[in-house]
Structure 1
Amino acid sequence: MPEQPAGPHGPDDTATAKEQPRRRQARGERRIQQLLEAAASVFCTSGYTAASTNAIAREAGVSPGTLYQFFPNKEAIAVELGDRLMHDLRDTYGEALAPIDPGTSLTDAVGATVDRLTAFNTEHPVFFALMHGPDVPGGITEAHDALHTNLIGRVEDLLASLLPPDADKAHITRTAHVSLGIYKAGLELVLSHEGAERQAYIQEIKDVLTRYLEPLVGDRLGRSAG
């Protein structure tokens, strides 16, 4: 059987034609990731309002024209960055706020939860810069509000499993808001320090939350040894 020619309609050209869009797509995704990482750095350093597309392009090592091939403005970059971070955070707080084994001490339960959440925020400081700064981009405000509502709901569910069965729903909601408020207030201090001082602030958050929840939870969780 004669070989088919590797010409315009040959099998080699067909395979190449299929590979080219995939390669372009992969290159495009790498470029987008490069721009998002540069934007994260600029937003953390300058804040969202003071940041510019020129600064982001410069940080990424590309021309502004290259940036505009993928994003029309800095808000579009912030929205894409925020969407990806919120997706990752949903996974994180799904693990952090999972049901607690009744044999776990309150100290250990609070410690594990705070560790998981602070690990996400210290690895992605731009999340705090975008979501909790004075200039939250308009395009991600609604998504952030939905995430916050979801997070409060998860904290309420967790607290409902720890508090007495007859605990008032409004009381659980208030406790969830205060607990999350304590965490967020401490998080700003955590992110503004490094090394041993950062760890000290993380421990302070754990201690405050444990002491706040201990009278409410009572003996429903085990006590830590010692």
Structure 2
Amino acid sequence: MIFIPVDLIACKPSLNIASVSYYSHHVSQYMSKSSHRQSPDNKQVKSSVSNDDNPQKSRRKPSGDRGRQRRDLILDTAADLLADGGAEAINTNALADRANISIGSVYQYFSNKEAILSALGERYMQQLSRNTVAALQQDVSGLDFAAMVDRVIDPMIAFERQHPAFRHLNAGQEGEGILAEGAKRVDQEILATIYDLLLRVCPHLNPTQGWQVARVTKALYKGMSYLIQQEQEIKNTGGDIDGMIAHMKRMMVTYLEDHLGQLTVG
């Protein structure tokens, strides 16, 4: 596809049912192993959320309702441990004890701790993707940037509050290991989702400028995510976390308005 650079300030975006439907379909393919995107340096990037070559993939795929329930129980328990104590809190003994199952049952589905964290990260990414798609399936034509940010960001913020373990994957943690890899996957998917949304809003957006706007927008969202990680501490010191998030959303709206122009109504 050839992108035609335009003056971003003069760009007049429009969203209609057809374009939102197209975007919803596009995002729903994120979890597919054939999903590809163009990176800022024009190299083809393959989504790493589902990868048959992943050495940490599950040992056994569940068959039947009982098998799926057992695997979900293991992942739910791992999520609780991750939320309580981070990746260090997850081990087969702790999992088996907390889930009230045998260690052998854990090994039936996951070969090691890395496989559990990888599966947990994949499940959260699938849930986050569906959450974002649901928000975008509504008719957003004629909305200004403030309303659009509410429509997209609010479900993502609500998701993080409902799933404390996801915060560890979305924290952008540095270093190495499966948790850092999971955080990187989440980070890449969020960036690509924002970039695709910008293209829906402004189809002729120059790709270099588009990635730049997407990265700044993502950084503002990650700032909100960081506040959520500190939610209890903020509340304990009398802070207003909802007010802080609202302020960062206004910063995001102002930035988008400055670089993409006002969204015209009608």
Normalised-by-shorter TM-score class: 0.7 to 0.9
Partner of 2:221: 183
Q: Which one of 136, 143, 154 corresponds to residue 193 of structure 2?
A: 154
Partner of 2:157: 118
Contact 2:142 2:264 in 1 (8 A): yes
Q: Kindly tell me: are residues 136 and 96 of structure 1, through their superposed partners in 2, closer, same or farther at Cα, counting changes over 3 Å?
A: farther
Contact 1:164 1:217 in 2 (8 A): no
- The question of 1:55 aligning with 2:94 is answered yes
Rounded to whole Å, the distance in 2 between the matches of 1:65 and 1:168 is 54
Q: Kindly tell me: are residues 212 and 113 of structure 1, through their superposed partners in 2, closer, same or farther at Cα, counting changes over 3 Å?
A: same
- The question of 1:46 aligning with 2:93 is answered no
Partner of 1:64: 103
Rounded to whole Å, the distance in 1 between the matches of 2:143 and 2:169 is 35
Q: Shift in Å at residue 183 of structure 1?
A: 0.3
Contact 2:160 2:167 in 1 (8 A): yes
Contact 1:96 1:116 in 2 (8 A): yes
Q: Which amino acid aligns with 1:55?
A: A
Q: Shift in Å at residue 42 of structure 1?
A: 0.7
Q: Which amino acid aligns with 1:203?
A: A
Structure 1 residue ranges without an equivalent (≥5): 1-23
Rounded to whole Å, the distance in 1 between the matches of 2:200 and 2:139 is 8
Higher-helix-fraction structure: 1
Provide TM-score, normalisation by structure 1.
Answer: 0.72
Provide TM-score, normalisation by structure 2.
Answer: 0.62
Structure 2 residue ranges without an equivalent (≥5): 1-62
Q: Kindly tell me: are residues 153 and 97 of structure 1, through their superposed partners in 2, closer, same or farther at Cα, counting changes over 3 Å?
A: farther
Aligned residues: 197
Which has the greater radius of gyration?
1
Q: Tell which has more relative contact order, 1 or 2 (C-alpha 8 A, sep 6+).
A: 2
Rounded to whole Å, the distance in 1 between the matches of 2:137 and 2:118 is 28
- The question of 1:127 aligning with 2:166 is answered yes
Q: Kindly tell me: are residues 121 and 136 of structure 1, through their superposed partners in 2, closer, same or farther at Cα, counting changes over 3 Å?
A: farther
Q: Which one of 23, 26, 32 corresponds to residue 71 of structure 2?
A: 32
Q: Which one of 169, 186, 199 corresponds to residue 207 of structure 2?
A: 169
Q: Kindly tell me: are residues 126 and 134 of structure 1, through their superposed partners in 2, closer, same or farther at Cα, counting changes over 3 Å?
A: farther
Q: Shift in Å at residue 193 of structure 1?
A: 1.2
Q: Shift in Å at residue 78 of structure 1?
A: 1.2
